[in-house]
Amino acid sequence: MEKLEPYYHTVQYYETDAMAVVHHSNYIRWFEEARLDYLKQAGYPYSTMEENGFMIPVLGVSCEYRKAVHFGETVRVETEIIKFNGLKFTVVYEIYDKECQNLHARGSTEHCFLSKDFKPVSIKKQAPELYQFFWNKTLHNR
Amino acid sequence: MEKLEPYYHTVQYYETDAMAVVHHSNYIRWFEEARLDYLKQAGYPYSTMEENGFMIPVLGVSCEYRKAVHFGETVRVETEIIKFNGLKFTVVYEIYDKECQNLHARGSTEHCFLSKDFKPVSIKKQAPELYQFFWNKTLHNR
Amino acid sequence: MEKLEPYYHTVQYYETDAMAVVHHSNYIRWFEEARLDYLKQAGYPYSTMEENGFMIPVLGVSCEYRKAVHFGETVRVETEIIKFNGLKFTVVYEIYDKECQNLHARGSTEHCFLSKDFKPVSIKKQAPELYQFFWNKTLHNR
Amino acid sequence: MEKLEPYYHTVQYYETDAMAVVHHSNYIRWFEEARLDYLKQAGYPYSTMEENGFMIPVLGVSCEYRKAVHFGETVRVETEIIKFNGLKFTVVYEIYDKECQNLHARGSTEHCFLSKDFKPVSIKKQAPELYQFFWNKTLHNR
């Protein structure tokens, strides 16, 4: 399977706080940016998922902060799916500087699949290709 | 008609930016907080409006910044409806410090009424009491 | 030692997302609101800390989401310091509905003490009362 | 003088609200993104300005909303400086879809130059090249 591109984000001024560094809550938003970019690159843009009637809410999140990021800097987010059992999956993220020399932060999010009326969805039936994609991505982790 | 209470907001750390003052975009969010609090006090909470099938989108916004606000300070927002013609209305805001001695900012927002399918709504028919409320509030401005 | 009050937050419209629930990143911001309110109640407002020359950056964060929160609802955040060794401390949070009947989310943040030039600070020397406060709060966890 | 490139922004999920469109406050943030990108393209990145000891705070902002923007869409922001007198300047923005067929919004921001201790700065002295840049950009508006 082809390797997906990392996600790049350039830090905006409104993302900084009074310590003159990026506010820690924004890293959680960058995880979302990177995750949705990842799914889009894989051929499953989130807007299509919503049209197909399901959502991927966040069940849990964690982030470990190593090195502050400043306004104007560009970060590179590496994204990987590490667990998948057909119902839930876990994504891990590493946030580097542009040149990939410093690790700024790393973290994870856990997700499930829900229908629009907030009920669990079996993507094996409703989105078999997406199921296969997740399965292949996480094959080595079973 | 009774006078409504001003709205108070205590500045959060995540609302500051690298200049160590509140980022200017947050004032627009405080206008929304004050506007929805105003409607709630008047007996028309926005959640009820959405349940009744209409929305009040923002058509325009303006803000003039006078004096920066810092983390931990509490601001007092005074809200007034100044125009209403049954289809659109304009709200003006003044943001003071807690003791109301300094004007930090002032601004306005313009709105219309829309149904859930984004079509204009006549609140005169669908929400006659709300219509009457707006009419009374802005009587002196006709 | 006296019991501190829980923190209440009323959900703003701008905190919702296209799923019509609060975006998950905002819980991390509520943790900050609750944490800084907790320190303020304890007599150590963060603005005073910054004036005294030190900061409390976030080293890590985690959150587990149980039940979505909607616009207009008020949540109650219970905050507790559970670890402290003089250099680092951990805070845990539980987010309930106003009446404290449903658990919406729970999580934690880890912190250290830094000087304004981003160097580790010994609060035992520089802020002995704050040190004593943390020590007392977490006495039972040693 | 060379023409600068428009600024592109892809809408993130966290920028949407419960109406399933972008929250209106985010357009103000996009104005900032576009403005700082414009200055960067012109050779005056804001981080350099801050290093040189001055800031460009926002004195006023306005935005007129025409057509909602949705998650996943990419907008194109066209930026122009329309007034400059050495002390203050005004920037106008037009937000289009990617193909530039629909106008989503337009607005403006007004700014001055301040030193780090929040006092007015004469950029004619302190940053003559920046002064010249602004002067040339707005020559036709005098």
Smallest Cβ–Cβ distance between B72 and the set C29, C45, C71 belongs to C45
pLDDT band per the 50, 70, 90 thresholds, residue C140: low
Tell me the C-alpha to C-alpha distance, in Å, between residue B120 and each of B54, C52, D17, D94, D128.
9, 55, 20, 25, 52
Contacts of A118 in chain C (CB under 8 A): 68
- Condensed to tens digits (0 to 9), the pLDDT of residues C72-106 reads 999 999 999 999 998 999 999 999 999 989 999 99
Q: Would you call A19 an interface residue with chain C, using a CB distance cutoff of 8 Å?
A: yes
- Condensed to tens digits (0 to 9), the pLDDT of residues B51-94 reads 888 899 999 999 999 999 999 999 999 999 999 998 999 999 99
Q: Is the pLDDT of residue D1 over 60?
A: no
> Cβ distance B29 to C12 under 8 Å?
yes
Smallest Cβ–Cβ distance between A71 and the set B18, B25, B71 belongs to B18
Q: What are phi and psi of C9, to 5 degrees?
A: -135, 130
More confident residue, B122 or C63: C63
> Cβ distance A105 to A62 under 8 Å?
no
Smallest Cβ–Cβ distance between C32 and the set B14, B36, B46 belongs to B14
> What's the confidence (pLDDT) of residue D141?
53
Cβ of D16 within 8 Å of Cβ of C14? The answer is no
Q: What are phi and psi of C72, to 5 degrees?
A: 95, -20
Cβ of D25 within 8 Å of Cβ of B32? The answer is yes
Q: How many helices (H) and strands (E) does chain D have?
A: 4, 7
Cβ of C25 within 8 Å of Cβ of A24? The answer is no
pLDDT band per the 50, 70, 90 thresholds, residue D139: low
pLDDT, chain B, mean: 92
Q: What is the mean pLDDT of residues D32-38?
A: 97
Give residues with Cβ within 8 angstroms of A77, minimum separation 6.
A6, A7, A8, A9, A30, A31, A33, A34, A93, A94, A95, A96
Q: Which of D5, D4, D28 is nearest to D15 (CA)?
A: D28
Cβ of B62 within 8 Å of Cβ of D59? The answer is no
Contacts of B70 in chain C (CB under 8 A): 47
A126: distance to nearest CA of chain D, Å? 22
- Condensed to tens digits (0 to 9), the pLDDT of residues D76-135 reads 999 999 999 989 999 999 999 999 899 999 999 999 999 888 899 888 988 888 899 899
- Condensed to tens digits (0 to 9), the pLDDT of residues B93-105 reads 999 999 989 999 9
- Asked if this assembly's ipTM is beyond 0.85, the reply is yes
Tell me the C-alpha to C-alpha distance, in Å, between residue B81 and each of B4, B46, C10.
12, 16, 23
Neighbouring chains of B at 3+ CB pairs within 8 Å?
A: A, C, D
> What's the confidence (pLDDT) of residue D54?
87
Cβ of C46 within 8 Å of Cβ of B72? The answer is yes
Is A17 catalytic? The answer is yes
Q: Would you call B57 an interface residue with chain C, using a CB distance cutoff of 8 Å?
A: no
> What's the confidence (pLDDT) of residue C49?
86
Q: Would you call B46 an interface residue with chain C, using a CB distance cutoff of 8 Å?
A: yes
- B82 forms beta bridges with none
More confident residue, D32 or B2: D32
* Among the ranges given (B24-28, D5-9, D133-137), the one the predictor scored with the smallest mean pLDDT: D133-137
Q: Would you call C12 an interface residue with chain B, using a CB distance cutoff of 8 Å?
A: yes
Neighbouring chains of C at 3+ CB pairs within 8 Å?
A: A, B, D
Q: Would you call D46 an interface residue with chain A, using a CB distance cutoff of 8 Å?
A: yes
Stretches where chain A sits below pLDDT 70 are 1-2, 139-142
Element (H, E) at B77: strand B74-84
Q: Is the pLDDT of residue C139 over 70?
A: no
> Cβ distance D118 to D126 under 8 Å?
no
What's the CATH code, domain C7-141?
Answer: 3.10.129.10
What's the CA gap between D21 and C142, in Å, rounded? 49
pLDDT, chain D, mean: 92
